[in-house]
Amino acid sequence: MALTVSAFQRVIRDRYYATDFARGTPGTFMWLMEEVGELATALQNNAPGKKPTPEERANLDEEFADVLAWLTTLANINGVDLEVALRKYTEGGVEGVKD
């Protein structure tokens, strides 16, 4: 079954909100940045032309999930409904591409 953005946000909120709220935005943001750094390493290990090991490939998936989970945590403790926020991309509010 497909997982919606709202459902994922609820899962993260239900499991972690009390701890995340107590840590606060600054501490949570630092955890997100650590995960972004781990994602950067995983991306390097899986760069085009490289032959990643099965473990490195699995780690890439894991790091994408971790970054998304920590970003969702930040949204939760700051009262942001990600599904509503993402409408700017689905309802014609953003045009063009970044160079």
The three state secondary structure string of the chain is CCCCHHHHHHHHHHHHHHHHHHHHHHHHHHHHHHHHHHHHHHHHHCCCCCCCCHHHHHHHHHHHHHHHHHHHHHHHHCCCCHHHHCHHHHCCCCCCCCC
Average pLDDT over residues 21-49: 97
Give the domain extent around 70: 22-76
pLDDT digits (tens, 9 = 90+) for 41-72: 999 999 999 999 999 999 999 999 999 999 99
Q: Which two tokens stand for residue 7?
A: 């459902």
Residue 51 lies in a domain: yes
Q: Which two tokens stand for residue 79?
A: 């009262």
| Predicted TM-score of the model (pTM) | 0.88
The pLDDT of residue 96 is above 90? no
Q: How many domains does the chain have?
A: 1
Distance separating alpha carbons of residues 59 and 55, to the nearest angstrom: 6
Residue 98 lies in a domain: no
Single out the residue of 91, 65, 89 nearest to residue 11, CA to CA.
65
Residue 44 lies in a domain: yes
Residue 52 lies in a domain: yes
The pLDDT of residue 99 is above 80? no
CATH of the domain at 47: 1.10.287.1080
pLDDT of residue 94: 67
The pLDDT of residue 89 is above 90? no
Residue 29 lies in a domain: yes
The whole-chain average pLDDT of the chain stands at 94
